[in-house]
Amino acid sequence: MPTIATHDGANIFYKDWGSGQPIVFSHGWPLSADDWDAQMMFFLKQGYRVIAHDRRGHGRSDQPGAGNDMDTWVADLAALTEHLDLRDAIHIGHSTGGGEVARYVAHHQDRVAKAVLVASLTPNMYRGEDNPSGQPPEWFETIRGGVLGNRAEFYRFVPENPFYGYSLDGAEPSEAIIANWWRQGMAGGALAHLASVDSWLEDYTADLEKITVPVLVMHGEADQVVPFASSVPRAVDRLQKGSLKAYPGYPHGMLTTHADVLNPDLLAFIRS
């Protein structure tokens, strides 16, 4: 498997397919590069070079006891882009990966052409006076409890209900999609998955405000993980060149459930 060794010796798995302008994908919690299969295959056929990695502690990457935090994950991504000498790249991040992309782009814009934040936790997703639509403290504690308890059973519940919105009126659950989410989640480590909750409690406002390249914010209005009003349009307001694409009725995992809609929209933004 292709891997790179980071500054502390952790091996990070990545996929690197095709040639042309690079598109780099950062996945959500608790998934892996496999969650981008629909996008990677689509853009590969469009003539792009597509790269996706398993975040430290996730998927096929190492599960070290240290470095399970957003700053280290961003440093790992920077090490990967330097190793592959990626320039003029488009970075696309989903959910937790949106925070990763925002912080990476804020500090490495010389290598970046554009960025996309999909169902991203940016600028922050916790409830407060400035964000009354964010998730309450007990929501984060429920996630922690699920990871620390029967993780296998909890990971069977998450994709069916909040992640893919299968509890919404008119939604038709896909057992295959649920099983694929469970497979990816259980391949990762409980320690990194637990530490991810801390990254959800961070504020990414300063990162967004540093970004000068064009950024597309894509968000489903029925998102049950990062509520639409919690993230959008607050993120767009903090970006110098931000634009918004909203999707009525779409869930948090819309890149999977509605790839046929989002992929052409992503392509239009990249080509614009």
- Residues designated as active site: 95, 223, 252
* Strand extents, DSSP E, the chain: 3-5, 11-17, 22-26, 49-53, 89-94, 112-118, 215-220, 242-247
For residue 30, is the peptide bond before it cis, meaning its omega torsion is within 30 degrees of 0?
A: yes
In the structure encoding, which two tokens stand for residue 100, read together?
């990763």
Strand 89-94 and strand 112-118: the pairing is: parallel
CB 56 within 8 A of CB 12: yes
Q: What angle do CA 197, 204, 59 make, to 5 degrees?
A: 40
> Which among 58, 65, 258, 48 has a CA at the least distance from the CA of 77?
58
